[in-house]
Structure 1
Amino acid sequence: MTRAWVRPAMIALPAVLVVGCAVAGPWVAPHPVDEGVDIPYAEPSAAAPLGTDHLGQDVLSHLLVGGWGLLLLAAVIAVLVTGLAAVIGTVAALRPRVGAVIERCTDALMLLPPVLAILLVMLSWPSSGAAGLVTIAVLVGTPYCARVFAAAASGIAATGYVEVAVANGEGLPYLVLREVLPNLRSTLTTQLGLRFVEAMYLVSTAAFLQLPATLGQSNWALMVRENSAGILLNPWSVVAPSLAIGILAVSMNFTISAIRSDRNQVRT
């Protein structure tokens, strides 16, 4: 079992480093994000190892400070989506009639693209801020994930120990929380990682469009937007935040694939 986690852990190392830098960044940033250190789009120097941005501020400091808000929102969305979807999917597997109603509702919600839903809500209700972004992301992200959990829970719902619990008169909350969900740990882990990657893309898109005002004036997506005009003068002002988002997403995807592959090998 220990060896089975070695390869996923090595693949996840880049994502762990990015997250670690984002978490510790506000305390180790060499300059305040609003402090000018050189001319706009200056090349890397001792004062600014990654050069400066369009306002002459240190790109490295913005990079270290700008990831925390995005990661926190993405993590909140991923946990909420995975938790709600796990419960909804399990209920759908245990109660077929309820599952039919849930399936119709999820069909309707899945027709609305997440980015379009975020645009409609955030533009019509700009004061909603990060709370509105999280709410919409959870509403549009839960239906598909619930389908996955319903499919995974359907086999467990038909097992003997669940039937015994039903015969003993156990209620639905007991069946969901004590009998089915503990046996969906693999699905929970996989879906949590996938939902985090999806949430990171959604939050980055919203930040790039400057939709949630509560994300602040410094984040990776906003760095790409504001410094794109000077990419030829100082490429690091755009490349560095883009790499941070890309490395995090790609490393997470590869880690999830490695975990799936290793588990399948163990089973066979």
Structure 2
Amino acid sequence: MSAATTPVPAAGRRSLAPVLLRVAPGLLLTLAALTGPWLAGHTIDKPVTAAFAAPGGSAPLGGDQLGRDVLSRLLHGGTALIGSALLVATIIIVLAVTLGCCAALSPRLRSVVERSADVLILLPALLGIMLVALAWPEGGRWAVNCAAIVLGTPYATRVVISAAAPLANAGYVEAATARGERLPYIAVRELLPNLRATVLALFGLRFVEAVYVISLAGFLQLGPQPPDADWALMIRENSPGILLNPWATVAPSIAIAVLAISVNIASTTLAPHTARKAVLTP
């Protein structure tokens, strides 16, 4: 039988099913959050029930502290969070890959980058957020995004250096160096293609970290301000009435947790096992 007519084994066809099952929740939740404003039945600032009203009628998840529809605010609140987390994770990966690959090829630069990263890694997340918020009091969400980038880049850079260092002595890198290629060229054309799996797994971890930092800032009211619809801000605002309408606090908490877990599962599923091991190993 020719190769063209050889049937694909059933096991090969079924191998995609576990991947799709693990990737689908993150994609569906992200899609739901991005399209949420068009699905909401009410505006985010219009009272439709009594304060902390129980679920029912036009408010399936009840009302918040001002009688606004919890479900509508929940559908609006994920767009900015996911957009900010994607932006933060992308910038962190670009900076980490640039610094990490160049540092792996230059021992002197590596020493400087690693020492600087080690110092910044020790900075607590809460302290970093407060420092950026105090230095940029009118920054709002952009100040929080900057804080998340500052907090996430050192760890990501360390991971990239660890993954790229063994490749720096490979034959193709030495050949490029012998040809007189410059450091940026070697980093982008020789090292980066061999780090794609590591970068993918690292992107998922940085996305989850960005969600955590942005949510923490929202809970502390250092980023978005009322009456914005933000999941973390909803938790803070509605916590006094958790016994009256638990969904006003529980629903955004579940949304944040499911978003972080599903995206992390999706990224680690798409990345090979060797890349996941490299990222998760201290």
**Could you state the TM-score of these two structures normalised by the residue count of structure 1?**
0.92
Q: Output the aligned Cα RMSD.
A: 1.9
CA displacement at 1:215 relative to structure 2: 8.7
Instruction: Confirm whether residue 162 of structure 1 aligns to residue 173 of structure 2.
Output: yes
Aligned-residue offset at 1:71:
1.0
Structure 1 residues 178, 4: closer, same or farther in 2, change over 3 A? farther
Match 1:65 to one of 73, 76, 83:
76
Give the whole-Å Cα distance in 2 for the aligned partners of 1:215 and 1:134.
18
Aligned equivalent of 2:89:
78
Partner of 2:136: 125
SS at match of 1:135: helix
Between the aligned partners of 2:208 and 2:61, the Cα distance in structure 1 is 26
**Further displaced range: 13-22 or 55-64:** 13-22
Higher mean displacement: 120-129 or 208-217? 208-217
Q: Contact 2:200 / 2:271 at 8 angstroms: preserved in 1?
A: no
Offset of 1:83 from its aligned partner? 1.1
Unaligned runs of at least 5 residues, structure 1: none
**Does the 8 A contact of 1:4 with 1:262 survive in 2?**
no
> Is the CA contact 2:77–2:229 (under 8 Å) kept in the aligned structure 1?
yes
Q: Which has the higher contact order (CA 8 A, sep 6+)?
A: 1
- Quick check: 1:89 aligned with 2:100? yes
Name the structure 1 match of 2:201: 190
- Which stretches of structure 1, 4 residues or more, deviate above 6 A after TM superposition? none
Query: CA offset at residue 3 of structure 1?
Result: 5.5
Counterpart of 1:23 in structure 2 is 34
Structure 1 residue aligned with 2:3: none
1:43 equivalent in structure 2: 54
Please say if residues 45 and 227 of structure 2, whose CA atoms lie closer than 8 Å, have aligned partners that are also in contact.
no
Q: Percent identity?
A: 47
Gaps of 5+ in 2: 1-11, 276-282
Q: Which residue of 2 aligns with 1:200?
A: 211
- Using the size of structure 2 for normalisation, the TM-score is 0.88
Distance 1:97 1:217 in 2: 47
**Matched residue type, 2:72:** S
In the alignment, the residues of structure 1 paired with residue 78 and residue 71 of structure 2 have an alpha-carbon distance, to the nearest angstrom, of 12
The CA deviation string for residues 69-111 of structure 1, in whole angstroms up to 9 with x for no partner, is 1111111110111111111111111111110111111122112
Q: Does 1:248 align with 2:259?
A: yes
Query: Retained in 1: the 8 A contact 2:219–2:236?
Result: yes
